[in-house]
Amino acid sequence: MKAILHFHLPRTGGTALREFFEHQVGESRVSKPITGMKLRDALLQWEHAQVISGHFAALQGDRLPCDRYNITVLRNPLDRFLSDHFFRKHNNVGRVIHTSVQLSGFDEFIDQCQGQAGHLVQLDMLSPLALQHSSNPTLDDQLQAAKRAIDTFDGVGVQEELDDFAHMLCAEFGWSIKAVPRSNATIQRITLDALNSRQRTLLDDLLAPEIELYEYALSRFRENRRSYIRCAGREAAKTIPLDASPIATEIAEAPVALEFGDRRAEILQVETVGALLGAGTAMTGERVSIKVRFAAHVLLEQLNIGIAIKDERGGLAFGTNSLQLGRRFARVHPGAYEVTFTMLNRLGCGHYSVDAALVQGLTHLDGCYHWHEDVSQLEVPSAATNHAIGRVLMDASVTLEGGTSEASWQEDAEIAQTGIAGSFGVIHENLQDFRASLQPMADISSLRPGVDTLLQVRASNLGLALWPSVGRNPVNISYRWLTSNGDVVVADGLRSSLPENVSPSLDAIVPMHIRSPSTPGSYILQASLVQEHNAWFIDQAPESGFALAVDVRASQ
């Protein structure tokens, strides 16, 4: 049976279709849900999977693989717009997303969308698959490329006829007929029939290119469906591979996680916790903790605790242990314990498994109490910063120098809005030089009361002293909330750590964790670097921080 690539366009029934694939070929032969990974990277990472399914980022010049049966599903753009808006507004209320979606009334949100890019999601995702090399393609160029991309897919469905599309796939691969389950449904959404004339007119105009693309895909689907109806019987049987019927017996058994040791100490539970997203999940650039809970059943003269993070293919992404980190634990008495490894998550988007080990020396060969693989999972669904792409987060800075005497340039003061070393025992000297620049890289003019938000900021060290990121008095980023009259509401906000030490003349991009006031009103967000147990930078150098006017109001 030919392998499948499901190019999942958001809010088109892809989650339900993925469950359909799991039923047909087995869960172990379908990739984990993929979000934000480049298409070419996903094809390499999941080359072993019978079905690769996910939200892929296709780049100009990317093409669908020839060795897979490529499918996608489109949805009526107006219906998809409604589903996406209300899903983000209600279903994803606890996630870190653009707060304007949750704050705005529907009419206000439609007005905000006028003249803005990013709403032609299906067109934007498909067009790179057939876009000719062009430095500045027009919207019509993208539309025509998206139509050509539709033609390169082996199967094109529409969300409104998802069951029929599934039946066509069953005929293609010789599967037993099964309806597609409905899942991930949007709550509290309005229907197309509920749109008033003004809303319908604005949305028709906003989504006009994608509506044309959808009509093109719909005609392709209907023609294909008629072909399957005409070929039902003898012609359809020709497409059924000889080995199709025993698919269920071909599914490989999932590998059994390795586990061994004398159990004088025993791993009870391993938990991964993102500082912002919580259990089992952490964005790239977010602080993540791996907690290993274990029991010592006898007196342990020596104990070394280790962890390892592996990618989807079982490759080692990161590993360390307490001994390598300079911590020696001796004469550990019987009892229950918890050890926590805390680090900045630099892993790219994907699904990872965690191993844990309790050993006597540096390796298990020196004596192993308990070694347990695949004992926990970590999902990295997205990035907390958008200054980089790829599988690993690196901290970078950029400089420009002229190579000839006539070379000249200016740097705009406004930044474009784009979206651990050492021991905790280190004590750093108090800073005396507070020259700095802290600049927001996004706009948060309005927030809901008591909401947690990430604001990406650039922190530039303009002084002569290094900013330490760890130790007993590191430099962090924090904030104060003031009323419009200047009265202090929150004097000491949440802390956001620098990703590493920042040397003079260098900078760092940091996802700043902000919690809005619980009472609606007009406020000033006053952001500043802080050296703990020493001083706030803005108290010493007022120009080193920034202030933003923020309207805190309940959702409409």
DSSP 489-543: EESS---EE-SS-B-TT-EEEEEEEEE--SS-EEEEEEEEEEETTTEEHHHH-GG
Please check the confidence at residue 149 and state whether its pLDDT lies above 80.
yes
Q: Which residues pair with 353 in a beta bridge?
A: 310, 377
Question: Between 2.30.42.10, 3.30.465.10, 3.40.50.10440, 2.60.40.10, what CATH number should domain 436-552 receive?
Answer: 2.60.40.10
Domains 264-380 and 436-552 share a fold: no
3-state secondary structure of 456: strand
Q: In what order do the strands lie in the sheet with 287-296?
A: 278-279, 265-274, 287-296, 335-344
For the record, the structure tokens of 302 come out as 């020596």
Q: Is 236 left (phi over 0), alpha (psi -120 to 50) or beta?
A: alpha
The predicted pLDDT at position 251 comes to 39
Q: Say what angle helices 162-173 and 14-25 make with each other, to 10 degrees.
A: 30
Q: Dump pLDDT digits (tens) for 44-56.
A: 989 999 999 999 9
CA dist 91 and 74 (Å) reads 21
* Mean pLDDT, rounded, for 377-402: 81
CA dist 220 and 215 (Å) reads 9
Nearest to 497 by CA among 416, 413, 421: 421
Please check the confidence at residue 268 and state whether its pLDDT lies above 50.
yes
Average pLDDT, the chain: 87
Nearest to 50 by CA among 246, 245, 252, 238: 252
pTM (two decimals): 0.73
For the record, the structure tokens of 435 come out as 């020259």
The domain ranges of the chain are: 3-250, 264-380, 436-552
The predicted pLDDT at position 422 comes to 32
The predicted pLDDT at position 89 comes to 76
CA dist 261 and 363 (Å) reads 12
Structural contact between residues 447 and 516, judged by C-beta atoms closer than 8 angstroms: yes
For the record, the structure tokens of 96 come out as 């870190």
Q: What's CA 392's distance to the chain center, in Å?
A: 13
Structural contact between residues 385 and 396, judged by C-beta atoms closer than 8 angstroms: no
Structural contact between residues 388 and 394, judged by C-beta atoms closer than 8 angstroms: yes
CA dist 55 and 361 (Å) reads 44
Nearest to 20 by CA among 4, 41, 38, 44: 4
Structural contact between residues 220 and 150, judged by C-beta atoms closer than 8 angstroms: yes
CA dist 532 and 428 (Å) reads 10
φ/ψ of 265, rounded to 5, equals -130, 145
Please check the confidence at residue 98 and state whether its pLDDT lies above 60.
no
Binned at pLDDT 50, 70 and 90, residue 400 comes out as confident
Structural contact between residues 344 and 274, judged by C-beta atoms closer than 8 angstroms: no
CATH 3.40.50.300 fits domain 3-250: yes
CA dist 441 and 460 (Å) reads 13
CA-to-CA separations, 27 to 49, 134, 332, in angstroms, rounded: 10, 40, 42
Binned at pLDDT 50, 70 and 90, residue 84 comes out as confident
Q: Which residues pair with 333 in a beta bridge?
A: none
Fold category of 264-380 in CATH: Coagulation Factor XIII; Chain A, domain 1 (2.70.50)
CA dist 283 and 456 (Å) reads 13
Please check the confidence at residue 426 and state whether its pLDDT lies above 60.
no
